[in-house]
Amino acid sequence: MTLTPDELFDALGVALRPPPVEPTPAELAALHRMIDERCVDRTTARVPATRSWMRPFVVVAAAAGIVVGSGAAAFAVGAPVPRPIRAVAHDVGLPVDSPELTDAKGAASDLRIVLAINDPATIKRVRARLNHKLAEVPGDERGQIERDTKALLAQADQQLRTAEATQPATGDGSPKGGGAAAGRSKSGDATSGSGGAGSSGALAGGSATGVSGSGPGAASPPGLTLPGQPSGPAGSVVPPAPPRPAPAPAPSVPPVVAPPVVAPPVVATPVVATPAAPAPVTIATVATAADVSAPVVSAPVVAASPPVTSDLAA
Amino acid sequence: MTPPAAGRQTGHAIDQAGVPALVERAKACDHDAWEALYQRGYPQLSAYAARRLDPDRARDAVAETMARAVAKIKMYEGHGAGGFDGWLFGILRHVVIDAHRAARRDREGPPVLRPIAPAGPLDNVLEQEEADEVRAAFATLAPDDQEVLELRVVAGLSSEEVAAVLGKRPGAIRMAQSRALERLQRRLKERV
């Protein structure tokens, strides 16, 4: 049997022709049941569909929902609202501070902190930043923040004037890198300033001023040299005096600190005084040694300054 | 090679041109439209299913096909490569595959293609003998060849519709059909 493709196709159609069967009445009844159960007439029971012209509004509504939802969640848990969400929420009229106002409030808070620290250089810097942030606050929010920061700025000016007034009397404790400003390094590691010009002033500016008995001036206190002793340049170590014969040991001298036989020149070791450290004990020991007329040279004492956040020191 | 009209010889009081209107009415849950579409496609659907399943399961498969079609008629767009017949065969093919999977779970044997029963007495003996020869040669083809030719000849689908049903490109279907016919021709010569 040799057939052309068309003839073969036709022959195949005849050979494979399905028998003329029809669905039974039961199958037709099942079909009608399925139509009643599963088919929903589009013309009579149309499901509300999103029309094309509604899509932009739906997108905007969804975005607003996300903003409101996330913002409300952030407020509910007390978490800071991310800046983009805050910006959008403020733009759509939600009762949220603008990012600029938030920045200004942050700068005001920073200024409040540095005013407590009383560091003129940092006060000057943070005050300038606050003024800059205030200038960026939108007009409708500026009145409130300006009222809130007016007293702060006035206090900053007052403290700066005071610092400038006391600056000439304190000699080298000027804010130019020496004194307290130098002692407050960015990392808060006050020991790094030992031996420098600012090291002596740093402690005096801190809370451990009971050590020297000098005034708590922020600029530059006299240091830790004991009364009656020559005070060398700030930060310098006075060479020890030549040894002298030691007098008879006083009974009140603790044997641990002052050997009873020979009283070499007592040099206090550098002490790192932290606010919690019992620094006066060491100095009291030195003072006791002074009672035996041994030359006592105070070693630079470095105070750990109060922690200053990197944001403020920046 | 043009698709034959053989696949539409029986059970098609409604020709292809009337199908879109019926489908639109079916989307509106018109019972009469659904019944007409059912009766129109029933012979081809039953023949396809009866070749792959036992008679009872074949009837169930056709009924399940119509049930799925009723449920999903809203998703049928009526355009693209496959027409309504191709869409129905695509559903039936998945139903048959599901039935085969169920049979495998029940530890039944692998699916086999059943012989094609003659549709009925032909006009003359020569034609009857020729049809028997073609059916016998057709039964020796690979299952994939048989499926392509069945969908083209029995179901009356176009190459594009067959491609949509089988998930292949129309060009690949035309190539497969051509090769299947060549092999069928060889088998017929071998039988003579």
Mean pLDDT of A12-40: 86
Q: Does B151 touch chain A (CB under 8 A)?
A: no
Contacts 24+ apart (CB under 8 A), A39-45: A39/B29, A39/B34, A39/B70, A39/B71, A39/B73, A40/B29, A40/B74, A41/B28, A41/B29, A42/B27, A42/B28, A42/B74, A43/B28, A44/B28
pLDDT at A100 over 60: yes
Contact (CB<8Å) A23/B38: yes
Best residue in B32, B42, B145, B182 to probe A by mutation, most A CBs within 10 Å? B42
Angle, CA A120 vertex, CA A118 and CA A125 arms, to 5°: 115
Please tell me which residue, B30 or B15, carries the higher pLDDT value.
Answer: B30
Number of Cβ within 10 Å of residue B137's Cβ equals 23
Q: What is the mean pLDDT of residues A232-249?
A: 48
Mean pLDDT value across chain B: 82
A73-89: pLDDT as tens digits: 665 555 677 777 778 77
Q: Residue A205: its pLDDT value, please?
A: 39
pLDDT in tens, A45-67: 444 555 666 676 777 788 777 76
Closest CA to B30 of A110, A250, A36: A36
Of B43, B134, B181, the CB nearest to A21: B43
At A40, is the pLDDT very low, low, confident or very high (cuts 50, 70, 90)? low
Mean pLDDT computed over every residue of chain A: 63
The answer on pLDDT for A151 being more than 50 is: yes
- A13/B189 CB distance under 8 A: no
pLDDT value, residue B67: 92
How confident is the model over B46-54, as a mean pLDDT?
90
Does pLDDT of A268 surpass 90? no
- Rounded mean pLDDT, B39-48: 91
Q: A47: which chain B residues are within 8 Å (Cβ-Cβ)?
A: none
Q: Is residue A102's pLDDT more than 70?
A: yes
> Per-residue pLDDT tens for A155-198?
889 888 888 888 765 444 444 444 444 444 444 343 333 433 33
What pLDDT does residue B132 have?
85
**pLDDT at residue A230 above 80?**
no
Q: Give pLDDT, residue A244.
A: 55
The answer, as to whether pTM is greater than 0.80, is: no
Per-residue pLDDT tens over the stretch B87-140? 999 999 999 999 888 877 776 666 677 777 666 666 666 677 888 888 889 999
Residue A104 has pLDDT above 70, yes or no: yes
Of A1, A15, A22, which is closest to B42 when you measure between CB atoms?
A: A22
Give the pLDDT score at A266.
52
Provide the shortest C-alpha distance from residue A36 to chain B (in Å): 8
| pLDDT of B170 above 70 | yes
Counting one residue from A and one from B, how many pairs have CB atoms under 8 Å apart?
144
Q: What is the pLDDT of residue B70?
A: 92
**pLDDT tens, A116-142?**
888 888 888 888 988 888 888 888 888
- Residue A230 structure tokens: 């020559």
Poorest-confidence range of A73-82, A109-118, A284-293, B64-73? A284-293
Instruction: List the 39-78 stretch of A: residues with Cβ below 8 A of B.
Output: 39-44
pLDDT of residue A215: 40
Which one is predicted more confidently, B79 or A17? A17
Provide CB contacts within 8 A for A110, sequence distance 6+: A126, A129, A130, A311, A312
Cα dihedral B99→B105→B111→B117 (10° resolution): -50
Contact A18 B29 (CB under 8 A): no
d(CA B48, CA B50): 6
- Cα–Cα distance measured from residue A256 to residue A272, given in angstroms and rounded to the nearest whole number: 21
Q: Per-residue confidence at B61, pLDDT binned at 50, 70, 90?
A: very high
Tell me which of A291 and B171 has the higher pLDDT. Answer: B171
Residue A202 has pLDDT above 60, yes or no: no
Q: What is the pLDDT of residue B2?
A: 41
